[in-house]
């Protein structure tokens, strides 16, 4: 069952992924497509930041240009709201890049 089947009408659903953990751009795009098919309304993208040396190292710092490409793709997916966050282990550190208007 989907979460929306249990929620009141108009409830938004959201999911998030952390980038910089070794994923490929193709894996990110495939994930975005699956999220769209699942009917999720909001998707956030964050840059993984290693909280301590005991944790997994950052594989890659995702560039603003790469976030822009994901934003453009998200816009093409129509219903998907897209937000990029610069996150640390302790929460939002600097800013959010994009929040696309709801287009459906």
Residue 82: inside a domain: yes
Residue 5: inside a domain: no
Structure tokens at 80: 């998907």
pTM of the shown model: 0.71
For residue 22, pLDDT beyond 50: yes
Count: domains in the chain: 1
> Average model confidence (pLDDT) for the chain?
76
Residue 7: inside a domain: no
Alpha-carbon gap, residue 9 to 76, rounded angstroms: 25
Residue 8: inside a domain: no
Domain that residue 56 falls in = 14-99
Among the listed residues 99, 90, 83, 98, the one whose alpha carbon sits nearest the alpha carbon of residue 46? 83
Residue 95: inside a domain: yes
pLDDT confidence band for 94 (50 / 70 / 90): very low
């Amino acid at each position: 069952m989907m979460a929306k089947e249990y929620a009141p009408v108009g409830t938004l659903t959201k999911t998030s992924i952390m980038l910089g953990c070794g994923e490929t751009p193709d894996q990110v795009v495939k994930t975005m497509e699956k999220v769209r098919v699942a009917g999720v309304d909001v998707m956030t993208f964050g840059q993984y930041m290693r909280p301590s040396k005991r944790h997994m190292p950052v594989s890659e710092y995702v560039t603003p240009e790469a976030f822009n490409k994901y934003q453009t793709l998200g816009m093409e997916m129509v219903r998907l709201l897209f937000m990029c966050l610069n996150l640390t282990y302790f929460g939002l550190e600097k800013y959010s890049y994009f929040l696309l208007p709801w287009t459906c």
